[in-house]
Amino acid sequence: MDLSAYFPGFLPELVMVVGACAVLLLGAPARAAVPGDMSKQAPGIVAIIVTFTALIISLWLGHPASETACPPGLMASDLLYYVRIGGLGIGVILLFANLHLPVANERAEFFSMILFSLTGLLITAAANDLLVLFFAIELVSVPTYILVALTREDKRASEASVKYFFLGAMAAAIMVYGFSFLYGALGGTTTIAGADSMTSAAASTNTNTALIVAGLLLSFAGVFFKLAAVPFHSYVADVYEGASSTISGLLGFLPKFAGLVAAVKLLSIFAWDVPPQVLWVLWIVAAVTMTVGNTIALLQRNVKRILAYSSVAHSGYMMIGLIVGPSLLAGAGPMRDGVSAMLFYMVLYGAMNLGAFAVLGTLAKSGESVEDIADIEGLNQRHPGLALAMALCVFSLMGFPPTAGLLGKVYIFSSAFSVGADHPFGGPLVVLAVIGVINSAIGAAYYLRIVAACYNRESRTETQVVGGPALRLAVVVCSGLMLLLFISRDAKSAAATVVTKQVVTKNLARASVTPQVAERDSATP
């Protein structure tokens, strides 16, 4: 088959790869030949154009058709469509927020790394082979190590980058070790979807159960690292603190999103019909992650560290949706479908987390970045607009109406409550959701501290607004999205329909073929 036959279905990914390389190349001659402002701005602007183009192409392509020509190892699914829209959408905002970085000369490298990371995210969603999945996740991660180092000329940034790299390498090693077990357990294949007969045969024997458990646990260890789930969360505060604020916003989104998509891929091999031990491990990790993240965050005074631990806690909430899994009911929205709820929350989290970090990034205190909670005290008096944006994003993180965060939490918890008693994991999931609700209440304590600092305290320090109009635009978009997504029906239903339309198509259909699902499959062009 001619290679170009694969192009139409994967055009956004191609655009991103080519674009990332092009931006990287921009760096070399520009620095030498074209002096002045133009060479500084070009990489960032080109990166935005490339991402935006990919986003437009994704929207134009729409839901991938079932007969899309897929090269070996890749699969076009509705999950891919959702990740394209969500990832590239937030990606554009990310680029805007980071347009003023870095101050040094490596601008081309910096923006191409963001593009590569985004590309990795898309390929993670497209992967239909464990090896491709592994490479894709590493494509997301490796650029982020570099990004942390490039953001600012600060000792802490370099230290954070090195730590992040070594721990990431260790997690990758564990993950690929897990994949090797799965390779054995699946009977010598690494294909994710479409190896029906073999996997079902393999899953039936006892010896393979142990292999599956071992493989999944080790693979999930790698996923946990990406999610910053306990006990793989320890890097998170140092790295977030070390990187510049807006890059911390990126770190809360790209690796986490990729990790969740990878987790969906892993569980979809078995159509969520995995040995109960694995679900229990996920359960415990989710519960501990939420609790540990929230309780440590309570003690922090550095806003970036608070947000870092809040990021840990949010991973715990999202894992609830992962354990619930997709709903087999036709037309189930995110209120019933855990995977939809989780993926909706992930994109939402990306925006609100980025918004909060972007507000921090906009502020500077005599050239230094603003990090301590004392620095944002009385923000409302100095910059009412920024204070409002901060309040909106933080309320959304807290899950407080009228912000979209409320809906995100409602979706996730309600998906857990709605699994019903006949579900084998129904009871524990309800307990987990209750733990989640309690954790949301604990979390409110430190989120409200941020809002109270902005509004209820007297302004004691002088801060300047830095970062230029692009960063402020990102702040406005992120905080505006919180209100918009709360009100808008279309955005939510888009998330719902996109994701419920067979996230993990083929394997789920095998697990339980309901007429509606089958009908919808064939009806979806």
Partner 1 sequence: MNESLLTNLSILILLLPAAGALCAGALGPRHLKGNSHWPVIFGVGGAAIASFVLLAQVAGAGEHSALFIKLYEWFGPGDGSWFNVEVLIDPLTAVMLPVVTFIATLVVIYSKEYMRHHGHPERGYERFFAFLGLFVFSMCILVLGGNFLLLYLGWEAVGLCSYLLIGFYYQKPSAAAAAKKAFLVNRIGDFGFGLGILMIYITFGHLDYATVFEAARLGLDHNVEALASLLSIDAIQATELAMTISSRLPIIALLLLCGAVGKSAQLPLYVWLPDAMEGPSPVSALIHAATMVTAGIYMMVRCGVIFAASDTVTMFIAILGAATAIFAATIALVQTDMKRILAYSTISQLGYMFLGVGCLAAGSAVFHLMTHAFFKALLFLGAGSVMHAMGGIIDVRRFGGLKRILPITYLTMLIGSAALAGFPLLAGFWSKDEIVHAAFNRHVLLGIVGLVTALLTAFYTFRMMFLAFWGEERVPDGVSAHESGKWILVPLSVLALGALFSGYFGVHIHGGGFLGFLEPHGAIHHFLEPVTAPFAAHAHEAHAEEAAHGFLAAIAHHWLMYLSALLSIVGIIVAYVCYVQRPWLPQVVRATFPKAHFVLLHKYFVDEFYHAAIVAPLRRLGQLCYQADVFLIDGIVWTITVIPRMFGQSWRTLQTGALQGYGLGMAAGLALIIVLVMITT
**Contact call for residue 208 and partner 1 (CB under 8 A):** no
Q: Which residue has the tokens 């715990």?
A: 316
**Residues 261, 125: contact at Cβ < 8 Å?**
yes
Whether residue 288 contacts residue 392, with contact meaning beta carbons closer than 8 Å, is answered with: no
Q: Does 145 bind partner 1 (CB under 8 A)?
A: no
Among 81, 96, 134, 235, binds partner 1 (CB under 8 A): 235
- Minimum distance of partner 1 from residue 188's CB (angstroms): 24
Q: Where are the beta strands (DSSP E) in 221-305?
A: none
Closest CA to 104 of 48, 43, 63, 162: 43
State which of residues 56, 166, 456, 516 lies at the interface with partner 1 (CB under 8 A): 166
Among 268, 291, 310, 403, the residue binding partner 1 under the rule CB under 8 A is 291
Report how many residues bind partner 1 under the rule CB under 8 A: 49
Sign of CA dihedral 59, 109, 111, 389: positive
Q: Annotate 362-400 with DSSP letters as a single string.
A: HEEETTEEP-BGGGGTTHHHH-HHHHHHHHHHHHHHHT-
Using CB under 8 A as the binding rule, whether residue 205 contacts partner 1 is answered as: no
Rule CB under 8 A: say whether 281 interacts with partner 1: yes
What is the nearest approach in angstroms of partner 1 to the Cβ of residue 407? Answer: 9
The answer to whether 302 contacts partner 1 (rule: CB under 8 A) is no
Nearest distance in Å: CB 424, partner 1: 16
CA–centroid distance for 315 within its chain: 9
**What residues numbered 327-346 form the site for partner 1, per CB under 8 A?**
331-337
DSSP 65: P
372 is a site residue for partner 1 (CB under 8 A): no
By CB under 8 A, name the one of 18, 22, 70, 170 that touches partner 1.
170
Q: Which is nearer to partner 1, 295 or 459 (CB)?
A: 295
CA angle 316, 498, 8 (to 5 degrees): 120
Q: Which is nearer to partner 1, 151 or 415 (CB)?
A: 415
Contact between 7 and partner 1 by CB under 8 A: the answer reads no
Is residue 250 within 8 Å of residue 144, measured between CB atoms?
A: yes
For 140, residues 6+ apart whose C-beta sits below 8 A from its C-beta are 117, 120, 121, 124, 226, 254, 255, 258
* Identified binder of partner 1 from the candidate list 497, 509, 511, 521, rule CB under 8 A: 497
Using CB under 8 A as the criterion, which residues of the chain lie in contact with partner 1 when the complex forms? 162-163, 166-167, 170-171, 174, 210, 213-214, 217-218, 221, 225, 230-232, 234-235, 237-238, 277, 280-281, 284-285, 291-292, 294-296, 298-299, 331-337, 442, 487, 489-490, 492-493, 496-497, 500
